[in-house]
Structure 1
């Protein structure tokens, strides 16, 4: 017997969701899409506005995880009433975890580099605290860096020389360098102009001799870098290492937390000071006579407008070959990566990682770099 037309209509109406459920599904889907658009907007705007506009600077150096809080409502709602909303929610999650929170992942970090590399560099801000020499020696014995750059270093030169016999040591007003390879030159920029402006501005540049047994590993077709310095010993090739500790944004952030827009002028003053210090540091890097490596506490993440202006043309070791969020500066609630190893022309990164807690509010950052050769004019 054929079903009557009224019966078919009643059956179809019974399968249709009630109007209130249709509205709820639409709201959940719209919320997920709007959240995705908001996350994309933050992602694109942060490198432009961070360290330029005070709300963006607060977010740049603050607990960025707050941007993920809407997912606590969107994802359960999508699972319950609108599965299609999971697609924009998943895309937003990837953007939050990667570009915004800074999770680094690369093929090299997953499979490992081709080896140790030609030079292992470590950088560590000791945090103005009394450094435990025993912990530092244990760290060096385990990680085996070729060059260890320290910022806010309170260790006397004699103590470092005694702790690392046979190494080359240089100490200058809170900036220390310990190197297995010979330090040919050490230049420290006069900081008085920066201090007069209320900044920090620790900028030191070294010429270090790298044995030919290391640089001979470069590809045979790679062009050779110029060696203008006659004091480079036979059988070695020099590179320049620049150790930095630049001005912190702390004063601006603390002022903004007290007065928000009322402290915008103080924010702009500190930002201008930090940009000036980066400009001075970059001049010293560009004047380096040998292929440069930059290490230290830059006091800025990679999505800072100041970083992108002065440092983005260098290869960031952790961004290139690290795995994870890579926080180097720790607070009670969150971490941020403001300490960096930057490889200039002639170098590439095989591996980068974060070291253990050595008693500071910073963690050391390490990188294995490989020499590839550099031609004149490669640097900016």
Structure 2
């Protein structure tokens, strides 16, 4: 833990859709140490990256514990336990959850990956827009289902939901399903905050959402990583009541 701006300790969270990049495996140990994060959630995590992350636990003073299931790799150096097994599928959206303890507060941490509109967008570029409306409906349905799974029975405790939502910040589904949480970058980021870069296509679809127990000290998007997506980092503090 480190001292954040304005005093007090901060919880650093990183979310990163790695696009199943195998190249990341050769650098992930260095990256994790540079991030100095308390919680790291990764989507589309290739087996090679998962294996490389296992070695981080052997690096002196890191003390990370790794959870992996389906496409997710989740690492934390906080006291933790498995909260929920993964739910869903690639076509219906996926999610996975652990529970951590930080500064005496129990925090449910969910990582999500909603269906991609990639195929629909490629078809539209070739002159066929038929799949676009279907893609919007699929992602809207997935968002509602994953939000229900993650938030309906949490009992009002502290929650972080981070991952590739495949929904821009102005999305109707994002606002409808996740309105009980706040967007870290929207509160404390700077600029457009694009997280996904595919040619000329740039969009902010990777988000860190937090419950009312947190204040967001800082949020930013990193750059220079071997995938179309880039990591998002947020530094959080517990609101003293």
Could you tell me which runs of 5 or more consecutive residues in structure 1 were left unpaired when the two chains were aligned: 1-111, 215-235, 375-380
Unaligned runs of 5+ in 2: none
Contact 1:175–1:202 (CA under 8 A) maintained in structure 2:
no
Distance in 1 (alpha carbons) for counterparts of 2:203 and 2:134: 23
TM-score (norm 2): 0.86
**Contact 2:97 2:111 (C-alpha < 8 Å) held by counterparts:** yes
Taking a change above 3 Å as real, the CA distance of residues 163 and 305 of structure 1, as seen in their structure-2 partners, is: same
Give me the whole-angstrom Cα distance separating, in 1, the residues matched to 2:78 and 2:25.
Answer: 21
Residue 227 of structure 2 corresponds to residue 356 of structure 1: no
Distance in structure 2 (CA, Å) of the matches to 1:300 and 1:357: 22
Q: CA deviation at 1:114?
A: 1.8
Alignment equivalent of 1:337, drawn from 175, 182, 204: 204
Q: How much has 1:115 moved relative to structure 2?
A: 4.6
> Is structure 2 residue 30 aligned with structure 1 residue 138?
yes
Larger deviation, residues 119-128 vs 161-170: 161-170
Q: Is the 8 A contact 1:115 1:350 kept in 2?
A: no
> Relative to structure 1, is the Cα distance of residues 149 and 256 closer, same or farther in structure 2, using a 3 angstrom cutoff?
same
Hey, what does 2:55 align to over in structure 1? 162
Task: Spell out the pairing of 1:183-262 with structure 2 (5 A cutoff).
Answer: 183-191=80-88, 194=89, 199-210=91-102, 214=103, 236-260=104-128
Is 1:304 paired with 2:201? no
1:64 aligned residue: none
Report the number of matched residues: 231
Q: CA deviation at 1:131?
A: 4.1
Q: Answer yes or no: is the 8 Å Cα contact 2:15–2:232 preserved in 1.
A: yes
- For residue 158 of structure 1, report the CA deviation from its aligned partner: 5.0
Structure-1-length-normalised TM-score? 0.56
Q: CA RMSD in A?
A: 2.2
Cα gap change, 1:294/1:251 in structure 2, threshold over 3 Å: closer, same or farther? same
**Alignment partner, residue 146 of structure 2:** 281
The answer as to 2:210 corresponding to 1:318 is no
Secondary structure at 1:118 match in 2: strand
Give the structure 1 partner of residue 79 of structure 2: 182
Comparing both structures, which one devotes a greater share of its residues to helix? Answer: 1
In 2, the alpha carbon distance for the partners of 1:116 and 1:244 equals 29
Q: Deviations over 1:275-301 (max 9, x none)?
A: 111111111221235311010000111
The SS at the match of 1:302 is coil
